[in-house]
Each structure stands twice: as C-alpha cells, then as structure tokens.
A and B are shown apart, each in its own frame.
Chain A
C-alpha cells in the first residue's frame, strides 16, 4: 500500500523562527501531494498541493513545500511562524486510480512566544 510518513509527531518552535515539517512518501509512478492544516475540532484546510510542474509550491499563509522526487519528500516550510500557526499539519497523497487521499500521521506544530 502507498504510504505517507511524517516522522515528527511534534515540532516546538519559537514565534518568528523558521520551521520545516517533514513528509516522505513511498515511491510511485504518479503521485499528487498535499499539505493540510487542522485546528482543534475542525475539518482540514488545504495549504498547498503539488500536481505537476514547478517543484516549489507556494501555498496560503506563507507556507511553501518542495517536491523532491529523488528523495521522495515533500517537506513543508515557513520562514517565520506565528502563534496562530499552532495546529496539526497533515501531509497527504493521491495516487492514480484512487481518488481518496491517504494521510500521514500528522505533525503538531507548537509555536511558543
């Protein structure tokens, strides 16, 4: 089965510091990749997605991610975080022939003042 691995369950960071949330995926011929954010007791909001084209993808709220096929990674980055970025972040994939998303285990980003 195709998988998504988020190695960091929690990432504490100080406000205004840069952050990187790691995501690796099992190799596939064709894969689309997504990052979502979830605030407590809420659904998921799309941050960004990679379907094709430029490997550097810019999303909302100042987030960006880079698709690296050789390392099968899709790490999420933000140069300067805010307290309001504290949330759960999920990396997800969609494979050809299967429309549903497969999610990683999530990373809790905790921004401290």
Chain B
C-alpha cells in the first residue's frame, strides 16, 4: 500500500531557531500534500495544502512566513518552522494523496516538535 515517510519523528530545538520537517511519498507520486497540526488531546487542524510545483495554500490564521512549505517534487514536501517559539510546540502530521487515488489519503507518522 501507499506509504508516507515523515522525518524527524521528534525534534527539540531552541527558541529562535528553524526546524525542517520532511514528508516523502515512498511508492506513489503525491500530487497534493497536506500539513496538519495537532495539539495534545485535540483534533487535527489543517495548516496548508500544497500542490507539486506551486505555492501552498494556507488556512486562515496560519502565518505563511512562519510555516514555510515547499513541494518541489512529486515525492517530497517540507515544512519549515522559522524562528520557532515555545507556542509552536506541537505534533505536526503530513498527508499525501496521488492522482486518481480515489481519495486514498496516506498520513505520515507525525513529528513531535518541542521548542525550549
């Protein structure tokens, strides 16, 4: 089946630094990738949608200059949290879907970001 690899699984960074999270589709071409944020014991909130080769579409309230998303190829999307602060600490999950996949959304295993 379709597999999405997300790295790193956990990262701790200092306040003010930037962190990059990678999301790769291993056995299919992901025409669209989604980035979600999940706070403890809460649901997933969509941050942005990215299509290969074009700019990401951000949800209302999500700072595009803080959460940089790049989807340069059909198998890789990255989320960079710039100038991270403790309030950015969260669980980030990517999801990918391929063309003609009949709405088969595949999720990565998530990244636990802790900003200290």
B102 on the A face (CB < 8 A): yes
Interface bracket on A: 20 to 34
Q: Which of B43-51, B64-72, B73-81 contacts A (4 or more CB under 8 A)?
A: B43-51
A43–B103 CB distance below 8 A = no
Q: Which residues of B contact A104 (CB under 8 A)?
A: 43
B105 on the A face (CB < 8 A): yes
- The size of the chain B interface, using a CB distance under 8 A, is 24
A residues adjacent to B (C-beta < 8 A): 32, 34, 36, 41-46, 49, 51, 90, 94, 99-106
B residues adjacent to A (C-beta < 8 A): 4, 6, 9, 32, 34, 41-44, 46, 49, 91, 93, 95, 97, 102-105, 107-110, 112
Q: Pick 9 A–B contacts, CB within 8 A, sort by A.
A: A34-B103, A36-B107, A41-B91, A46-B104, A51-B103, A100-B46, A101-B46, A101-B95, A101-B105
